[in-house]
Amino acid sequence: MWELMAIPVLTSAAALWFGRNTSSEEHRIVQQTFEHYHIHVKDGKNNRYPQLVREYKSTKRIKLIYRTPLALEEKTLRTLQQVLSVTLDQEVNVSFKKWLIIEILKNKMPSYVSYGEVPYRKGWMVPLGKNRQGWHFHHFDHTPHTTISGTTRFGKTVMMKVMMTYLIEHHPWDAQFVIIDLKGGLEFNRYQNLQQVKRIASDPIEALYALKQVQKNMKERMDRFKRQGWSNIVDTPLSQRLFVLIDEAAQLTPEKFMEKEEKKTLAQCQSILSEIARLGGALGVRLVYGTQYPTSNVLNGSIKQNADLKVSFRLGSDYASKVAIDAYGAETLPSDIKGRALIKTHEVKEVQVPYLNHEEIWKRIGGYEVAKQTVVPNETGEDYVRLG
Ligand SMILES: Nc1ncnc2c1ncn2[C@@H]1O[C@H](COP(=O)(O)OP(=O)(O)O)[C@@H](O)[C@H]1O
Ligand SMILES: [Mg+2]
């Protein structure tokens, strides 16, 4: 039987079993792992370790094949895989089929990827990022709402701009945006004249007006859906989608110290946001909700419940990570890499979000700039393209 032995050092007898000498650094590390985790069988007084019988190397992978006197149990294989992936900082697959097969994939987790590398995808997709396995995309027609959390300066706004740019590039006639940029409009104001951008709100009063417009638009859609007997936009001939991007959503949280009026405005914003989260998906409204501190009063229940994609950049604590993505891990993302995020759907994946700056955005979508009239906020104003 394979046993866990408390003999930490390699005996000279066991050394014989390591078999042929090889200069491979990976093999050396695998051997050390066998020793440290006591992966051997006892043969009289000796410990018999797996013996390397073949080593294949290519530019993409290294495959090490070991002979073992007995099969290894599943738990040992998983431990080996986990320890080796972390030690080598590479993707490692460990399996047992007559031989113990250890495959080390050489592609590294990228620490930077540029938007220019993002491949084309059809449909309402946006790139989330790249990792060792390749690119990961989000499909807005499958999962309408998403939350993006993370400590400031790690990449939330850049990710929203990536989404906006990709959607406009691929759906110039069908993507519409309402952007609530509560950093006073600093990040998104320059895109206000894009044909696809219906409105940019840069303070809570403008936000409330913009959200009321979305609510009104939803109501019209709802009536039309009822008339036509439709239940979800994805099953209709309607090709437009309305994206509501909210950057720094914590600014919409009512606080104790605020004046009564301000609190009321913010409470109304929250209530419309909940309504969008609950009903908007089926009607073609997609919510992207970005916030630094994902405490439960900022990330209100119905938004969180209805956002089946949760993204988080680095966060300060495991508690914050749990609130943001229902899982620990955002607190251990590297502190020296911008744009590194966890994406959580049914499982959690780590990705490097593509980067693009304003010049690049403008090069790609600046051509959609049109002359717009400033619309004075009033309750009856209608400046949306109607569905049709
Ligand atoms: N995906 C990325 N790849 C590389 N650098 C990034 C990425 N995202 C953000 N950065 C860098 O980090 C800075 C802050 O990003 P930003 O999106 O403004 O952060 P946040 O909105 O979370 O405060 C950017 O100006 C850029 O220099
Ligand atoms: Mg930001």
Residues 6+ away with beta carbon under 8 Å from 100:
50, 65, 66, 67, 68, 72, 94
Query: Looking at the predicted structure, is the pLDDT value of residue 306 above 90?
Result: no
Long-range contacts of 315-319 (CB under 8 A, 24+ apart): 315/149, 315/150, 315/151, 316/151
What pLDDT is recorded for position 90?
84
CA atoms within 13 A on the CB side of 340: 17
pLDDT of residue 23: 61
CATH 3.40.50.300 segments of the chain: 115-368
Kindly give the distance from the C-alpha atom of residue 355 to the centroid of ligand 1, in angstroms, as a whole number.
8
66 vs 49: CA distance, rounded Å: 9
Q: Which of 367, 305, 368 is nearest to 147 (CA)?
A: 305
Binding site feature residues: 150-157
Taking residue 374's Cβ as centre, other Cβ atoms within 10 Å add up to 6
Ligand 1: which of 154, 313, 351, 361 to mutate, judged by most atoms within 8 Å of the beta carbon?
A: 154
**Candidate of 115, 118, 161, 338 to mutate for ligand 1, largest count of ligand atoms within 8 Å of Cβ:** 338
- CA dist 37 and 39 (Å) reads 6
92 alpha carbon to ligand 2 midpoint, in Å? 35
Which residue's C-alpha comes closest to atom 2 of ligand 1? 339
Distance 366 CA to ligand 1 centre (A): 21
Instruction: Read off the pLDDT band of 346 (50, 70, 90).
Output: confident
The reported pLDDT for the residue numbered 375 is: 53
- Sign of the four-CA dihedral 30, 33, 39, 43: positive
Q: What is the pLDDT of residue 5?
A: 41
Task: Compute, in angstroms, the gap from residue 22 CA to the centroid of ligand 1.
Answer: 44
Q: What residues line ligand 1, using a CB cutoff of 6 Å?
A: 112, 150, 152-158, 338-339, 353, 355
**Whose alpha carbon is nearest atom 9 of ligand 1?**
155
**pLDDT, greater one: 41 or 341:** 341
Model pLDDT, residue 89: 82
Q: Which residues are annotated as a binding site for ATP?
A: 150-157
Q: Give CA–CA dist 118/137, Å, rounded.
A: 10
150-208 pLDDT, tens digit per residue, is 999 999 999 999 999 999 999 999 999 999 999 888 999 999 999 999 999 999 999 99
Chain Cα centroid distance, residue 210? 27
Kindly give the number of the ligand 1 atom that is closest to the alpha carbon of 354. Answer: 1
Closest to 246 measured CA to CA, from 181, 190, 163, 324: 181
pLDDT tens readout for residues 54-68: 999 988 899 999 999
115-368 fold: Rossmann fold (3.40.50)
CA of 183 to the centre of ligand 2 (A): 8
Test site for ligand 1: of 112, 128, 149, 158, most ligand atoms within 8 A of the Cβ: 158
